Amino acid sequence: MASQEVSSAIADIETASDKPARYSALLKTVLTSTGDPGANLIAYTRSLLGDSLGIVASRPLLAAFVEQFRNVKDAEVKVEVGQQVLELLAPKVVSYEEQDTQIKEILADAYEEQEDYRGSAKILQTITLDSSQRAVSNDDKAKIWIRIVRCYLEEEDPTSAFTYLNRVKNVIHSVQDKSTRLMFQLSQARIHDSQRNFLDASQAYYALSLESIVDEEERAHALSQAIVCGVLAPAGPQRARTLAKLYKDERATSVEEFSILEKMFLDRLLSPAEVKAFSSKLQPHHLAKMSDGSTVLDKAVLEHNLLGASKLYNNIGIDQLGELLGIDADKAEDSAAKMFEQGRLAGYIDQIDRLIFFEGEGSGERKTGHAERILGKELRKWDANVQGLAEEVEKVTTMIQNQYPEFYALKMVH
Statement: residue 414 has pLDDT above 60: no
Q: What pLDDT does residue 92 have?
A: 85
Average pLDDT over all residues of the chain: 85
Q: What pLDDT does residue 161 have?
A: 93
Statement: residue 213 has pLDDT above 60: yes
Tell me if the pTM is above 0.75: no
> Of 17-31, 177-191, 357-371, which has the strongest mean pLDDT?
177-191
185-191 long-range contacts, Cβ below 8 Å, gap at least 24?
185/211, 186/222, 187/146, 187/149, 187/150, 187/153, 187/161, 189/222, 189/225, 190/153, 190/158, 190/161, 191/149, 191/153, 191/158, 191/161, 191/162, 191/165
Tens of pLDDT, residue by residue over 274-327, are: 888 888 888 888 887 777 777 888 888 888 888 888 888 888 898 888 888 878
Q: Please report, in angstroms and rounded to a whole number, the separation of the first and last CA atoms in the chain.
A: 121
Please give the single-letter amino acid code of residue 287: L
Percent of the chain with pLDDT over 70: 92
With bands split at pLDDT 50, 70 and 90, how would you rate the model's confidence at 263? Answer: confident
Tens of pLDDT, residue by residue over 81-92, are: 999 999 989 888
With bands split at pLDDT 50, 70 and 90, how would you rate the model's confidence at 193? Answer: very high
Residue 62 neighbours by CB distance under 10 Å: 25
With bands split at pLDDT 50, 70 and 90, how would you rate the model's confidence at 367? Answer: low
Tens of pLDDT, residue by residue over 93-118, are: 888 888 999 999 999 999 999 999 99
Q: What pLDDT does residue 218 have?
A: 92
Region 63-88: what's the mean pLDDT? 90
Greater confidence, 58 or 412?
A: 58
Tens of pLDDT, residue by residue over 216-254, are: 999 999 999 999 999 998 888 888 899 999 999 999 999
Q: Are strands 355-361 and 345-350 parallel, antiparallel or unpaired?
A: antiparallel
Greater confidence, 327 or 201?
A: 201
